[in-house]
Amino acid sequence: MTEKFLMILVVVLCYHFKGIATNLSIAKVSGKIKNAEIKFIVFRFNDKSDTFQLNTNNEFRGIIEIKKPIYGTILYDKNWCALFLSPNDDISLSFENENFFESIKYVGKGSNVCNFLAQKESLTGEYEIASMNLYQATFTEYAKKMDSFKIQLDNRLNDFLTKSKMNDTYFTENEKVDNLYRWAFLVINYSEGHKYTTSDTSNNFYICENYIKNQITLNDTSLYKFYRYRNFLDRYAMTYAYSFINQNIWKNHPEVFYIKYLEKLNEIIKTNAAKKEFVLDLCIERARRAKTNEELNASINTFSSMFPNDSDITKIQVIVDKISSVSIGKIAPNFKMKNLAGKEIQLADFKGKIVYLDFWATWCGPCRKELPYLETIFDEYNNKGIEFISISIDSEVDIWKSFVSDNKLKGIQLNDADRTVASIYLVDAVPTFFLIDKDGKIFNNTARPSQPELRDLFAQLGSK
């Protein structure tokens, strides 16, 4: 009896302490948003997202599972900001929707580092705008401004570390790398920015390269783990490639860009695994953005020439095949989905009519800006042989339903929470629009409701 009692006690205590350990692996978040336009806020950490609903007072409260200190991003409407959370943090934030960076403020445990990062993003935004306004200036003027940015970043970091007495090695190391390569990224941007904002056709890449090369490391495998370093290396090789091409070369010989990109990549990245990762990412991204068959083929040929017989080429081939299946002139892939009333809707039912297909999301700022134009277009053409289908990729279905109801959205409203249909149509950004003709073929995949040419396209397709 005693042994049985002790066994039960041990089990109970194990569950008790397991619960305590679990509680220590969370962070609490809360806040209030002034002039809120949408009723939820998103906290994103790597591939994981937590969405919290705002109440009638535009307040939210929630818990985020977190096992170790981690960087993340807050997303609200068209605004975003970096943050840093540790287990057992308890932060509360407030901001004005239309005055985001100037008003965002954190309080509570862990708030000091989040306030620091918010101020850093605000400063970066100021200098990014300043850099674009200085593309027409001399490099000396431009570099002087960017050096001022670097000095301010480093001074702010040192001041913060001293006052906060923060001893998180991961955070400190990341911030130092981040500061250096934010600066280097902006400096190298001058080459392409100056080229396209002036009549100066000289190659300024080497001027930029010589300016930064004594302060940066181009082949440090220990830095590959930092996003900002990888982001800079990619931009560095890309800017080098762009310095050799113009619009005519890009149109007729897109492979030139890849050749030059790989030329620089081979020079700066010595480990084969890291090089392959960069090349694969580039080729996939370029395949997604390809507008011609030549560009599609260049993305495949680039990877296969550098990594012959590598099975990862199938990752590019999948993208190419998908793009081909939804390119202009191809039959639009059919889909079956249920609308808000539970009725099954399939694209094939609308053959013989013009269809304007819209992929969007409630959390997407550009999507929301298109809504008034879409409503105007709907009112004008709904009775002229054109069907309007809007497919939301919102994973929070209840939020989508409320948004559709509250805003009285018109047309056929569907939800693709698992993004099955969006994946078929290769939608990796919203809003995305497809104009489908009466034979069910894709006629256009770029025209937005806010663009006047959409009406011309409707006329070409024979709208009444």
Q: Predicted confidence band at 1 (pLDDT cuts at 50, 70, 90)?
A: very low
Residue 222 has pLDDT above 60, yes or no: yes
Question: Quick one: pLDDT at residue 63?
Answer: 95
The pLDDT of residue 13: 47
Q: Tell which wins on pLDDT, 51 or 20.
A: 51
pLDDT band for position 170 (cuts 50, 70, 90)? very high
Angle between helices 169-197 and 139-164 (to 10 degrees): 160
* Mean confidence (pLDDT) of the chain: 87
Quote the CA–CA distance of 120 and 179 in Å, as a whole number.
10
Amino acid identity at 54: L
Regarding pTM above 0.75, the answer is no
Q: Which domains does the chain have, with CATH numbers?
A: 26-108 (2.60.40), 134-240 (no CATH), 244-325 (no CATH), 336-460 (3.40.30.10)
Per-residue pLDDT, 40:
83
The residue that leads in pLDDT, 355 or 327, is 355
Amino acid at 343: K
Summarised one tens digit per residue, pLDDT across range 266-308 is 888 878 888 888 888 878 877 777 767 777 788 888 888 888 8
Give the whole-angstrom CA distance, residue 361 versus residue 322.
22
19, pLDDT greater than 70: no
Rounded CA separation 414/421 (Å): 11
Average pLDDT score over residue span 316-325: 81
Mean pLDDT, range 146-152, rounded to an integer: 96
Among 219, 227, 217, 263, residue whose Cα is nearest residue 243 = 263
**Tokens 């002229």 sit at which residue?**
384
Task: For residue 329, give the nearest of 421, 425, 436 by alpha carbon.
Answer: 436
Nearest residue to 338 (alpha-carbon basis) of 399, 397, 408: 397
Rounded CA Rg of the chain: 26
